[in-house]
Amino acid sequence: MERYQRHIALAGFGNKGQETIKNTSVLIIGAGGLGVPVMQQLTACGIGTIGIMDGDTIEISNLPRQVLYTEQDVGKAKVAVAAQRLLLMNSEVNIIKYPFFLNAEKALELFKSYDIIVDATDRFDARYLINDACVLFNKPWVYGAVFQWEGQWAVWNFSVNDAEKTTYRDLFPIPPKANLIPDCNAQGVFATVPQIVGYFMANELIKMVLYPKELKSNSLMYFHFLKNSFQSLGIVPRSETIKTPLTAKDILDFDYSYYCGYKTEKDKEGILTILDKDTLIVDVRNKEEVPRLPLKCLEIPLHQLPDRIQELTANKILFVCQTGKRSKVAYEIYKTLLPQSIVDYYPYNIELFIKNHHHA
């Protein structure tokens, strides 16, 4: 126990406290700006099992905020690099890799195996899915979000002193419209902000495990980093009835992406309204990402696209990636490098693509 002697020396902590930490399992969804500090601190503290879920790869723009990664890691899968670095920090922690993005099937399969879920994503559809799955399995979860110089965090579905539990839907019963959602990609976030919020999230999680009576549940913590001001917003259960998924089948049937405005009616109509024999499908994911497409396509990882742009000779192109984010970037690259071409804009989510194509 030499590693944790400063923990053990704390009054009332001792070996029992460290054993409690060791026997805790945490699933962290998102290995980016918020996920990195949460992963680092929980690994250092000795959490026994840490699952990491993320289907993304490391980009050069990630490095100021996601300090676990280096320039040599650009283009590599976040989950693989994170697991390797965390084991160098603490080889006694059991790290489980999930190199894919969250969906309803994965939530229902994996959440029940973990004590606590951590939301380190940046999407509303993921948060509502996490919330509903945690309510279904009676799992507490830690939430964090950042924007520019601001950050907030909370613990949901957790009761202190038999108080009534609150959930993310009590704070946001319905999602904001997609065009009103603040976007850090467009409007920025300073590097220290997710680091600090991530450490507060890890701190709340440790309190949940060891000192639950000290945890301020049913509240949203807010911090403005320029003004150095804290605020606490009390959350109460909502009495009005809003239809929400309550069973596993409800969650599987609920279209979270459409609900949160990330998908359009064209997405809901399906891939067959877009595809024809003249469509060139371009998969801009990395080679190791799964699942692979079940039909003929051109595979060009996003970071290679500028050098291989001349391979895109069709007039109708469908860019495909895991969530639609990289395919949108691919479209912008194409439009910039080949401005004389006329192409339709169809950035597509790989899981939606496969689901619709398989159904057809």
Catalytic machinery residues? 184, 321
Q: How far apart are the C-alpha atoms of 111 and 131, rounded to whole Å? A: 11
Q: How far apart are the C-alpha atoms of 334 and 343, rounded to whole Å? A: 9
- Residue 342: CB atoms within 10 A of its CB come to 8
- Residue 263: CB atoms within 10 A of its CB come to 18
Helix then strand count (H, E) for the chain reads: 14, 12
Q: Which residues contact 93 (CB under 8 A, 6 or more apart)?
A: 43, 46, 47, 48, 49, 50, 86, 87
What residue ranges in the chain does DSSP mark as E strands?
A: 25-29, 49-53, 94-98, 116-119, 141-147, 150-156, 219-224, 229-234, 279-283, 298-299, 316-321, 348-349
Q: Let me know: does 280 contact 315? Beta carbons within 8 Å.
A: no
Element (H, E) at 248: helix 248-253
Q: How far apart are the C-alpha atoms of 193 and 220, rounded to whole Å? A: 17
Q: How far apart are the C-alpha atoms of 66 and 50, rounded to whole Å? A: 18
**Would you give the end-to-end CA distance of the chain in angstroms?**
58
Length of the chain: 360
Give Dmax (Cα) for the chain. 71
Q: How far apart are the C-alpha atoms of 210 and 220, rounded to whole Å? A: 20
